Structure 1
């Protein structure tokens, strides 16, 4: 019978062979899969770690044109656009002396922390499953080995090697299942954590771009200063 044919029956047979330990590991795998799929959807919908477009909008606008950037960000989705819009609103309130710079920085730091916290929800569950699944599998192996040696002892002088071999491979099955659950869960968790770190860096860049924008006039002034220094160096030679 193919593995894909009547999967419910195949899972039932698998549980009958592995016992309650395998059933527990299968339940953990279902929980891990559900969390991974939810986090993948969440990260995709909120465009986590993809703040390049938001930074491009902010870098293309001077401090005077922050209102235009706010309108453009309003049509964009994702956490990066949300924090950028919030930062611009606080910047405008600061310009009207409704907010002080310290209050603005604290509010943005709190908003960024809330975003990061919401993105990290479910990470503890994945981490727990990745750590405990191999231990549960090993526990099942120990129990299986005890059962196999008990059967070997009860057989007395008529020792059948197949009894011991059968008990051992059934016992090792739980360890294999535990590792099969833990490894992909750990890989998925590492990927999500890297995306969160990318998003954290993007938030820092966005906040810095809003609070300390480089206007076109300052760019022109800097270029003029560099040109003057270059001409003075030429004349000195």
Structure 2
């Protein structure tokens, strides 16, 4: 069974020529990159921030230690970065705010850059694969018409038809490589965009907290008049 599968693959590559062989190699690279990025996103726990909103609400309310403890159980890389920023801000003085801000922004940039690694390669594969397939089609059509010219008056329509469908095979393979690569790249980019928005909001909040007003205590005593004087009872 394995030998038969290998033989069919070999026949397919021989039929498509060197262009299909190149596209198969490109598809292997694309699949490897996609699997590596999915694994990285799972390890970094991209998009999994269950306690982030609660921690930011506690930070805004002035409960800094409670906010840090909310993120202590977070296993995501973004959660760890925000928790580190909160701890640094809590220990730093007001005169160190600019330095801390620059450091946190640099670490956030490095984290996002790490998530985006490999995107250019996937984008290049998505854009070049159809062009490589089209190039193979053009070469196949040239070969088909050359064979048709050499046949002279004894033209066999099957010869031309066979050459054309073999030539179009390379375009089909190029599109088959480009379409899933483009879909995965779009999904990866959307996940990174959401991660960027989350980090931007979190860093803005921890660097510029808005202290909530103290709740107003409502007295249990009977209300007084509008002028602050006790109400006058009729005789």
User: TM-score if structure 1 supplies the norm length?
Assistant: 0.84
1:227 counterpart residue number: none
Q: CA–CA distance in 1 between the matches of 2:172 and 2:198? A: 40
Matched, 1:143 2:156: no
> How many residues are aligned here?
219
| 1:19 counterpart SS class | helix
Matched, 1:220 2:215: yes
Moved more, 24-33 or 70-79: 70-79
Q: CA–CA distance in 1 between the matches of 2:214 and 2:16? A: 69
| 2:42 counterpart SS class | helix
Going from structure 1 to structure 2, the CA distance change for 1:86 and 1:118 (only over 3 Å counts) comes to same
Going from structure 1 to structure 2, the CA distance change for 1:6 and 1:219 (only over 3 Å counts) comes to farther
The structure with more radius of gyration: 2
Aligned pair partner of 1:10 in 8, 11, 28: 8
2:116 counterpart residue number: 120
Pairing of 1:36-51 with structure 2 (within 5 A): 36-51=34-49
1:235 counterpart residue number: none
Q: CA–CA distance in 2 between the matches of 1:125 and 1:50? A: 26
2:106 counterpart residue number: 110
Runs (4 or more) in structure 1 with deviation over 6 Å come to none
Shift of 1:115: 0.7
Aligned pair partner of 1:188 in 170, 175, 184: 184
Shift of 1:197: 0.4
Shift of 1:63: 5.9
RMSD: 2.4
Say which structure, 1 or 2, has more relative contact order (CA 8 Å, 6+ apart).
Answer: 1
Aligned pair partner of 2:83 in 82, 85, 94: 85
2:29 counterpart residue number: 31
Cα deviations by residue, 1:163-194 (Å, 9 ceiling, x for unpaired): 00000000000001001100110111011001
Shift of 1:156: 1.4
2:233 counterpart residue number: none
1:67 counterpart residue number: 65
Q: CA–CA distance in 2 between the matches of 1:57 and 1:37? A: 32
Aligned pair partner of 1:167 in 155, 163, 166: 163
Contact 1:141 1:172 in 2 (8 A): yes
